[in-house]
Amino acid sequence: MHLMMILATLAVAYSTRYKWTEFQGSWSLRWRQTLFLFLFPPLLIFMTVVSLLCMGPQGKMGGLQTGWFSYVLAYGCLAYFHILCIKHAWQGWLSVKSARNCPVVNCAGRQVRLLNTGALFAGQIGFWQPELVLSQGLLQTLSPAHLETVLAHEQGHYHYRDTFWFFWLGWVSSCTAWLPNTDALWQELLVLRELRADAHAASQVDPLLLAESLLYVVSSQPVSSEICCAALGSSSADRLEQRIDALLAQPEPTPETQPQYWNSFLLALLPLITVIFHT
């Protein structure tokens, strides 16, 4: 019976992701739809694993005998998730440690870390309380007005705690890389993250100057970090075009996520109900 639960969960997770196509519409609609398709299948799988571990290898469910195979499979899956989390956290710590080796300088009245490279780079590096890292090349290339737009963009990442939340989203992505469209959904979340930070910056600075700053940054080969870095630059021309088009268009407000939106994720908790039928 437990094996049937596993197969049913995998079928639902796979089918949910399989027919995904890039959403159209407002930023908020794209964000809600993409985040649901990205998170719901992994959450359903995780809840199934937890329910199997709670029921254990002994007993019956629905009149059918349970066994050790599904229990060991669930335990191995959970161990695999933990190993990936530790690996992800270690990589993040290396990024933080590298950033802390950079000297602290004053830039436009705020303390930032100075990266000794001629590449144009600006990024928040860390977890819940990230530090802003700017490259020497960025400070030497951009005018004070353009630099202000970069700082406003990075402040948007800090405001939404992107480094913290995308650490966990990146872990989820690595755990379910075998599901269809995982990378496509991950890339969509990344561009939506940048659009949100752009919108935050555009409410404080001139959007045209911010668009010019984007062009400056992508003209150089940016320094990047695997995780824990909400960087201004993007290597994707399609992402850049989307961001500039959004900046040149009428600014779209970024509404707060309504509590009702999270109700749809409660469906992922259904596997936990099966525990009461285990005897």
Lowest mean pLDDT of 37-41, 81-85, 96-100, 229-233, name the range.
229-233
Per-residue confidence (pLDDT) for residue 265, from 0 to 100: 83
Would you place residue 233 in the very low, low, confident or very high pLDDT band (cuts 50, 70, 90)? very low
SS3 per residue for the chain = CHHHHHHHHHHHHHHHHHCCCCCCCCHHHHHHHHHHHHHHHHHHHHHHHHHHHHHCCCCEECCEECCHHHHHHHHHHHHHHHHHHHHHHHHHHHHHHHHHCCCEEEECCEEEEEECCCCCCEEEECCCCCEEEEEHHHHHHCCHHHHHHHHHHHHHHHHCCHHHHHHHHHHHHHHCCCCCCHHHHHHHHHHHHHHHHHHHHHCCCCHHHHHHHHHHHHCCCCCCCCCCEEECCCCCHHHHHHHHHHHHCCCCCCCCCCHHHHHHHHHHHHHHHHHHHEC
Q: Which domain holds residue 17?
A: 2-277
Per-residue confidence (pLDDT) for residue 255, from 0 to 100: 62
Would you place residue 99 in the very low, low, confident or very high pLDDT band (cuts 50, 70, 90)? confident
- Residues 42-47 have a mean pLDDT of 93
Query: pLDDT tens digits, residue range 3-34?
Result: 777 888 889 999 988 877 777 777 778 888 89
Portion of the chain with pLDDT greater than 90, in percent = 32
Task: Tell whether the model's pLDDT for residue 235 goes beyond 50.
Answer: no
- Residues 218-242 have a mean pLDDT of 56
Mean pLDDT of the chain: 82
pTM equals 0.85
Would you place residue 149 in the very low, low, confident or very high pLDDT band (cuts 50, 70, 90)? very high
Task: Tell whether the model's pLDDT for residue 177 goes beyond 50.
Answer: yes
Per-residue confidence (pLDDT) for residue 98, from 0 to 100: 87
* Total structural domains within the chain: 1
- Residues 191-217 have a mean pLDDT of 89
Per-residue confidence (pLDDT) for residue 178, from 0 to 100: 92
More confident residue, 159 or 232: 159
